[in-house]
Chains A and B, each alone.
Chain A
Amino acid sequence: MTVVELALAIVKILIVVMFLLNMAAIATWADRRQGAMVQDRVGPNRAVVYLPSMIVRGVVFFPPALLGALAVFTATRAMPAPVAVEALVIGAQFAVFVTWLGLLVFCAAARRGGPINAAEEALARFDPRSIFYAGVMAHVLAFFVTQAVPLSAAPTAARVVCVLLGALLVVTGAYTALRVPEGKVALRLLGTLHAAADAIKMIWKEDFIPPKGDRLLHSLAPLLAMFPALVTFAVIPFGDKLCFEDNGDGVFGFADLPLLKRTVDQAFTCGGHVASLQVADLNVGILYIFAMAGTGIIGAALAGWASDNKFSLLGGLRAASQMVSYEVAMGLSVVGLFMIYSSVRLGDMVQWQAEHAWGIFVQPFAFFLFLAALAAETKRIPFDQPEGESEIVSGYFVEYSGMKFGMFMTGEYVELITSSALLVTLFFGGYHLPFLDRDGINVVFGETVLFQYKMTHLAVSLTYALAFFGKTILMTWVQVFFRWTLPRFRYDQVMRLGWTKLLPLTLVNMMVTGIVVLAVDSAPEGLRSGLQVAADVSHALVAVGGFAAVVALIAGLLEPIDRQRTLASTSARFAAAAGGTKASPQQA
């Protein structure tokens, strides 16, 4: 391992750990703390940081202004044709994005705080959703218009678009800065400061060890619970491999880092040095994850034993038996995937999914089995018997306080993020996006090429990484959703489900998959190419469905809340007369 590889590894570890810890804090907030907000209880979720408006103006103005300056600077540089095309496309998309987002923000501000000029008054009359829909259409239109620009005119067009984008960013930033009200501005960040408040609280709380407990094991358990959760992420690739060209000395050195290859082909033929975007590319791959997840049991069991508390003991026992049982089902449920992907390395699995179809389409049954086993493994509702707060108080960590408790919590939520990342990697194509190949967008069905668009290596790699983190966040949200909806099983029901339902089903899944894989391998060529077309259709489904889902989600968020108000009680009426807004529960 060269020095530069070591440095890259450290950077990758930092990225992963930062992502995990930040997401864990936000997930804790979404999972545990929202209750306080829903019930309108006063708590740290109301925490506000007051900023002087001058600082807010700076925060609002400078980042767009910097980006704008960067865009204008790009315009002044010499641009060879392929770069110009890319700059043109990205610049145009970015400009459209800034325009509709800016209009949306100004529209919302005008609707909420009242318009301050005639333009805003006109803007406020629009439905925010129509602004968004127009923006989406403008995105598509801009893409095809920029495609139509001939190669010779690309550099000029790119310069114009970049300058335009720069001006747009500066104007939007300046106008937003103008809209910042005088005086103090409250920064609440949706209550996510609650997570920060929690962390501060936990650090300063008393670290209690039960007098008759085992001091060493009691202190060791939270470490053992948190460590495996963090390290399992190491083998999950969060982006495609990067290819650096050699500067002539044949050794991967720091001088090679700026020489990122401009474009790579689909097969990734890289003459220089390859750096993968995963902390450790182990050849045991997913087996490492199972091994590490298995260690997590020890933390819970030790905590239950060392706490000298009967509730803890029950919790520890439940945790140990449940996690051991579901480990079996979890491991067996993905055997079918191994057969299809013919690899246990997660990078290879993502590559298979990119070339064929996503795992959810080839192993839908295994997905649900694996999801259930994973929920049991991460001890989340409906499998949170080890914690079972209404039965055995808090289970194995009932005797923990302060940061040791915080470590259990962090471990649990890091596990949640890691499990989401694992689900994404195994079943949702990892970092892959439909039709986005290493050399750009290729809409291909079987042998029929419908559309092609070349992209640079950097752009593709960045999109891949963003796609991976986005998918992981989405999957986390789905798991938080489960927790808010489902009740929990009884302990014996969990065990029965694991051994008598999940385990046989995984075995059946394994056998059926084996037969199908053998059949496909010995199938005639025609059938196999048909399967490839079906796989491409699945990609198309994902692309269309995903696009529609994103549009529907944003439109849904923008939907004006139609509140039906009945001021039935005098207190509500008094408040309304005084111009206040006592939220009457009679509102619809």
Chain B
Amino acid sequence: MEPLDRDLDEASLDLPSEPMLLNMGPSHPAMHGTVRIVLELSGETINKADVQIGYLHRGFEKMCERGTWTQVFPYVDRLNYVSPMLNNVGFALAVEKMLGVTVPERCQYYRVILGELARICDHMICSGAMAMELGAFTPFLYLCRAREIFWEIFEEETGARLTHSFGRVGGMARPPTPDFKAMVRVGLARVLTLISDAEKLILKNRIFLDRLDGIGRMSQEDALALGWTGVVLRATGVPYDVRRANPYMVYDRFEFDVPVGTRGDNYDRFMCRQEEIRQAARIIEQALDQMPDEGPINIDDPRIVLPPKEEVYTTIEATIQHFKIVMEGIKVPAGECYSYTEAGNGELGFYLVSDGSGTPYRVRIRPPCFATTQGLSQLITGLMIPDVVPTFGSLNMIGGECDH
């Protein structure tokens, strides 16, 4: 029998330790099926994180180049699929900027209200999912219930619960329903109570706060260098909100605050979202008061807006006009423009190039998530595996707009 310790010296008695590589995602409950993080672990601590995106890449920008300008709307619905209305409005504004037209005031208010409703949905789901991934299931159910109220309103207004495709160049697909204001008022009050109920469950919970407080901190300089915008940037203390910095539509007429954080950690991001929900509710209330009940929704330009259906079926001019817009598309003058709005996650920009035909020459988007996701590996390096969950959740990375 051989001696067991035949050629062991002191050093080789130590256990060999090498970092463990762990593939987190894309099929991982916290990764939403849209991202993969290759983690280099020592124990549970993350030494290195390699964030790999692209699992939801659909060639969106290329797809836009093969239809008319109006046919892009269904695609932008699927960018940030948590708040499609904001993308609709953003794209409509971009094309209108190229055309040099402004929609009637009533439509602007309508867009603001629908957009802010979508923003509330977006923030609610982000916060709710974050709480759920930390194990607190009930707040998520409360917030889903709240979202359901708004989705009913969207269903009533647009006919679709999620992918509305409701925006149009020069207006909206349909005017508001007669009950629109009453519905939003009733729904908003219910949603705000549900949100406070959900907050009561988690914001006094020491376990929940311990999981968020001081985790995933980002400095102002780094956030700006990475090109962060939206809630994640404001949580670091930079008060940059497109609605305030560069007011579009009628945002300059509303009183609202831009909540900012101080440390840029998960807690700040969570609380900024919650406060933004309340500010959005304020905007909606003011907009409901100011929005005229009568008046056109679409601009009065037969080259851009489809004629009413009864005229299409009765007059030859309207028939031809309808045919031209549908088959050839709206003729956007040649040129290029960059238009940006405040979407659910931050600055959503559209860089459009037109060659004067009815089809976009190039649609390039600047998704807020793309910049945000760049910072993820920096955020989670040095943390533990469980910290990935709230950190990733608080960034609200949406694969649809990130992979463009």
Cβ of A568 and Cβ of B135 under 8 Å apart?
Answer: no
Cβ of A585 and Cβ of B186 under 8 Å apart?
Answer: no
Cβ of A490 and Cβ of B384 under 8 Å apart?
Answer: yes
Interface residues on B, range: 35 or more
Cβ of B389 and Cβ of A568 under 8 Å apart?
Answer: no
Q: Does A529 contact B (CB under 8 A)?
A: no
Distance A381 CA – B138 CA, assembled complex (angstroms):
13
Say yes or no: A569-B386 contact (C-beta < 8 A), given A35-B137, A382-B135, A390-B134: no
Name B384's contact: one of A389, A486, A491, A572 (CB within 8 Å).
A491
* Shortest Cβ gap from B24 to chain A (Å): 9
* Shortest Cβ gap from A210 to chain B (Å): 16
Cβ of A390 and Cβ of B183 under 8 Å apart?
Answer: no
Residues of A within 8 A of B134 (CB): 390, 487-488
Residues of A within 8 A of B210 (CB): 489-490, 493
Distance A233 CA – B188 CA, assembled complex (angstroms):
51
Cβ of A568 and Cβ of B183 under 8 Å apart?
Answer: yes
Cβ of A391 and Cβ of B145 under 8 Å apart?
Answer: no
Q: Does A217 contact B (CB under 8 A)?
A: no
Residues of B within 8 A of A491 (CB): 44, 384-386
Cβ of B386 and Cβ of A487 under 8 Å apart?
Answer: no
Q: Does B294 contact A (CB under 8 A)?
A: no
List CB contacts (< 8 Å) of A460-497 with chain B.
484-493
Residues of A within 8 A of B179 (CB): 568
Name B205's contact: one of A314, A487, A570, A585 (CB within 8 Å).
A487
Chain A's closest residue to B155 (CB) is A569
Distance A585 CA – B143 CA, assembled complex (angstroms):
12
Cβ of B141 and Cβ of A586 under 8 Å apart?
Answer: no
Residues of A within 8 A of B384 (CB): 490-492
Cβ of A568 and Cβ of B44 under 8 Å apart?
Answer: no
Q: Does B105 contact A (CB under 8 A)?
A: no
Interface residues on A, range: 35 or more
Cβ of B186 and Cβ of A566 under 8 Å apart?
Answer: yes
Residues of A within 8 A of B152 (CB): 568-569, 572, 584-586
**Chain A proximity mask over B337-362: 1 for CB below 8 Å, otherwise 0:** 00000000000000000000000000
Q: Does B208 contact A (CB under 8 A)?
A: yes
Distance A381 CA – B131 CA, assembled complex (angstroms):
13
* Shortest Cβ gap from B58 to chain A (Å): 26
Q: Does B57 contact A (CB under 8 A)?
A: no
Q: Does B182 contact A (CB under 8 A)?
A: yes
Chain B's closest residue to A38 (CB) is B141
Q: Which of B30, B136, B386 has the most CB of A within 10 A?
A: B386
**Chain A proximity mask over B10-44: 1 for CB below 8 Å, otherwise 0:** 00000000001010000011100000000000001
Residues of B within 8 A of A566 (CB): 186
Q: Does A588 contact B (CB under 8 A)?
A: yes
Name B183's contact: one of A311, A381, A391, A569 (CB within 8 Å).
A569
List CB contacts (< 8 Å) of A137-167 with chain B.
none
**Chain B proximity mask over A250-282: 1 for CB below 8 Å, otherwise 0:** 000000000000000000000000000000000
The dominant DSSP class at the A interface is loop
Q: Does B253 contact A (CB under 8 A)?
A: no
Distance A571 CA – B183 CA, assembled complex (angstroms):
13
Name A484's contact: one of B29, B138, B186, B389 (CB within 8 Å).
B138
* Shortest Cβ gap from A415 to chain B (Å): 18
**Chain A proximity mask over B175-205: 1 for CB below 8 Å, otherwise 0:** 0010100110011001000000000011001
Say yes or no: A391-B388 contact (C-beta < 8 A), given A310-B20, A586-B186: yes
Chain A's closest residue to B129 (CB) is A390
Cβ of A568 and Cβ of B156 under 8 Å apart?
Answer: yes
Q: Does A448 contact B (CB under 8 A)?
A: no
Say yes or no: A490-B387 contact (C-beta < 8 A), given A35-B137, A485-B138: yes
Cβ of A39 and Cβ of B156 under 8 Å apart?
Answer: no
Distance A588 CA – B146 CA, assembled complex (angstroms):
11
Q: Does A388 contact B (CB under 8 A)?
A: yes
* Shortest Cβ gap from B161 to chain A (Å): 11
Chain B's closest residue to A566 (CB) is B186
Q: Does B280 contact A (CB under 8 A)?
A: no
Q: Does A122 contact B (CB under 8 A)?
A: no
Residues of A within 8 A of B144 (CB): 39
Q: Does B285 contact A (CB under 8 A)?
A: no
Chain B positions near chain A (C-beta within 8 angstroms)? 20, 22, 28-30, 44, 131-138, 141, 144-145, 148-149, 152-153, 155-156, 177, 179, 182-183, 186-187, 190, 201-202, 205, 207-208, 210-211, 384-389
30 residue pairs A–B, Cβ–Cβ below 8 Å:
A35-B137, A39-B141, A310-B22, A311-B22, A382-B135, A384-B135, A389-B29, A391-B385, A392-B385, A484-B137, A485-B138, A487-B131, A487-B211, A489-B210, A490-B384, A490-B387, A491-B44, A491-B386, A492-B44, A492-B384, A568-B179, A568-B183, A568-B186, A568-B187, A569-B155, A571-B156, A585-B152, A586-B149, A586-B152, A586-B190
Give me the 6 closest cross-chain CB pairs, A-B, nearest first: A488-B135, A390-B133, A487-B136, A487-B134, A569-B156, A568-B183
